[in-house]
């Protein structure tokens, strides 16, 4: 009897929401074509596989391509600022590098991680055609990230004594502090940008963000040249322009939301409902942040530990060059991460278990193939790749010796970030955070230190530990993805949607 009542209630809800589908102005409404192909008994296994693969590849690359462009262009904002500062002098370059790769990366990872909670919630809500929920979640995330920005701002304000405490010279710490002061407005640009970005991605709206990022990069280059060289504002001017550029991205994307017909139903204006259910939302946001930050800090810690090795200068130079190459490929993988998260969350919200599983398979396989090709190219260029960064032959030889580790890391980057995107789409952030703690900080770093220092393997030993931790993490994520009960994941997503119907002020989160 209880089952019958549940079925009747579910059917009534479907009837309530069905008229909305043709009225929605977006051309990217989540359809059932892929699920129909995968479930069609009239097609042979090969026909289903071929048709489904072609369809999913078309959808995937339309999402991943623009997402890769967005992440690459946004990365170029910070890189170009660092290059401009480098032409002012060695001290200015060191200050900008420290501010960008130290303080700013910490804030970026934390804000991006917390903003990733919106990927799960908005993606599933959009797939379930509960369009009114997306705007509330975007606002709620913005509120939490803005609040998080306040204690982060204190770290920026007191960065000089912090850097001196960490062993930096007074001259570099003072110059870096000037640069970091100009990045304070950027904190709150992050707080607004990442929820907006995930809000748009959940609706498969990524191309406008790519155009906006490209336009802002051009403006950023012009304003940086003007502020640094013509007006002579130095480090502070460089960082203020960088903050302004991020705010231009925020404003442009929000104007797009207000003006676009595609967002007419997902954005219905500011609402006080955004201030309700913040504690439950915070728990998922923190899990998302921990999941991403533990991974980001892992690579930074390995580089810091390399500074304790014998011949630390060569070790740091060679490892930094390799990590830079990995970081550039990671931007590509992160585009597939975003695409996988959108596809899986959309299909789960739409009630398509086979499509969600198939999307995760195609996304992982596609990025893996790309990563293998890139790894082969990098390995073939192992003797010359370092000359793009330095003219030193000693460093070039050290990089060439590390090239097998570099190639393997690139291949792993073609799998692990995509699986993390699948995890975000399913809402597994808390579990993956525990996996990251175990694999990175209980296995990876201790193993790397043991091999690097105790067994005298140096940089190769440190990187072996890093790869070991990543391999274990990748195997675990592969296992839980392969073993996932996708029908159960659909039911979890549907349960979240139903609770939105029952209690508008506490949607999706209370399980």
Measure the CA dihedral 242/246/247/253, to 10°: 160
- Gap between the Cα atoms of 97 and 86, Å rounded: 9
What confidence score (pLDDT) does residue 389 get?
67
pTM, 2 dp = 0.83
- Gap between the Cα atoms of 478 and 475, Å rounded: 5
Residue 26 within a domain: no
196-199: Cβ within 8 A, 24+ apart: 196/138, 196/142, 196/250, 196/253, 196/254, 196/257, 197/70, 197/115, 197/253, 198/115, 198/116, 198/118, 198/119, 198/122, 198/138, 198/141, 199/118, 199/122, 199/134, 199/135, 199/137, 199/138, 199/257, 199/266
Residue 435 within a domain: yes
What confidence score (pLDDT) does residue 184 get?
94
Residue 35 within a domain: no
Averages of pLDDT over runs of 10 residues in the chain (511 residues) are 42 39 48 86 89 93 92 88 82 79 79 84 86 89 93 91 81 88 94 94 92 96 93 91 96 95 90 81 82 77 74 72 83 90 92 93 95 94 80 81 92 91 89 89 92 87 91 94 93 73 45 41
- Gap between the Cα atoms of 161 and 179, Å rounded: 14
Total number of domains in the chain: 1
Residue 34 within a domain: no
Token pair of 146, please?
């803005």
What confidence score (pLDDT) does residue 505 get?
47
Residue 76 within a domain: yes
What confidence score (pLDDT) does residue 496 get?
67
Residue 78 within a domain: yes
What confidence score (pLDDT) does residue 365 get?
95
What confidence score (pLDDT) does residue 237 get?
93
What confidence score (pLDDT) does residue 24 get?
44
What confidence score (pLDDT) does residue 298 get?
78
Burial profile 77-104: b = 16 or more Cβ within 10 angstroms, e = fewer:
bbebbbebbeebeebbbbbbbbbbebbb
Token pair of 74, please?
């946004």
Residue 480 within a domain: yes
- Gap between the Cα atoms of 98 and 177, Å rounded: 9
- Gap between the Cα atoms of 414 and 369, Å rounded: 8
Q: What is the extent of the structural domain holding 132?
A: 50-502
Residue 9 within a domain: no
């Amino acid at each position: 009897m209880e089952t019958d009542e549940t079925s009747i209630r579910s059917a009534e809800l479907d009837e309530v929401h069905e008229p909305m589908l043709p009225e929605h102005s977006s051309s990217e409404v989540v359809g059932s074509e892929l699920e129909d192909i995968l479930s069609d008994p009239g097609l042979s296994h090969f026909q289903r596989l071929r048709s489904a693969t072609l369809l999913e590849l078309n959808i995937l690359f339309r999402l991943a391509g623009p997402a890769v462009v967005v992440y690459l262009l946004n990365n170029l904002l910070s890189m170009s600022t660092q290059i401009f500062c480098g032409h002012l002098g060695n001290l200015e370059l060191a200050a900008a590098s420290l501010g960008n790769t130290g303080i700013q990366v910490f804030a970026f990872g934390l804000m991006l991680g917390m903003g990733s909670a919106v990927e799960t919630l908005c993606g599933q809500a959009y797939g379930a055609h509960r369009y009114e929920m997306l705007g509330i979640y975007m606002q709620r995330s913005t509120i939490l990230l803005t609040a998080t920005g306040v204690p982060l701002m204190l770290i920026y304000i007191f960065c000089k004594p912090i850097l001196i405490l960490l062993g930096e010279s007074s001259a570099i710490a003072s110059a870096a502090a000037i640069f970091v002061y100009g990045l304070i407005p950027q904190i709150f640009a992050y707080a607004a940008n990442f929820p907006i970005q995930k809000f748009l991605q959940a609706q498969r709206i990524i191309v406008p963000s790519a155009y906006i990022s490209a336009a802002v990069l051009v403006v950023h280059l012009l304003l940086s040249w003007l502020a640094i060289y013509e007006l002579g504002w130095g480090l502070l001017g460089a960082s203020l322009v960088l903050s302004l550029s991020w705010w231009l991205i925020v404003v442009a994307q929000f104007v797009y939301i207000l003006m676009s017909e595609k967002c007419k139903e997902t954005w219905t204006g500011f609402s006080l409902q955004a201030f309700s259910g913040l504690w439950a939302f915070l728990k998922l946001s923190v899990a998302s942040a921990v999941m991403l930050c533990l991974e980001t800090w892992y690579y930074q810690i390995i580089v810091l530990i390399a500074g304790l090795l014998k011949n630390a200068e060569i070790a740091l130079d060679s490892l930094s060059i390799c990590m830079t190459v990995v970081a550039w490929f990671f931007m590509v993988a992160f585009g597939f991460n975003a695409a996988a998260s959108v596809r899986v969350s959309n299909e789960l919200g739409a009630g398509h278990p086979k499509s969600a599983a198939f999307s995760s398979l195609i996304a992982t396989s596609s990025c893996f193939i790309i990563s293998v090709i890139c790894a082969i190219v990098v390995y073939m260029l192992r003797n010359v790749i370092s000359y793009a960064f330095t003219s030193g032959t000693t460093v070039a030889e050290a990089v060439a010796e590390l090239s097998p580790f570099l190639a393997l890391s690139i291949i792993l980057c073609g799998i692990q970030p995509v699986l993390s995107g699948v995890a975000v789409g399913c809402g597994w952030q808390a579990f993956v955070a525990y996996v990251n703690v175990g694999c990175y900080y209980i296995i990876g770093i201790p193993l790397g230190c043991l091999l690097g220092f105790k067994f005298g393997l140096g940089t190769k030993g440190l990187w072996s530990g890093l790869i070991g931790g990543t391999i274990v993490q990748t195997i675990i994520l592969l296992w839980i993805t392969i073993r996932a009960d996708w029908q159960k994941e659909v039911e979890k997503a549907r349960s979240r949607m139903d609770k939105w119907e029952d209690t508008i002020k506490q949607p999706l989160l209370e399980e």
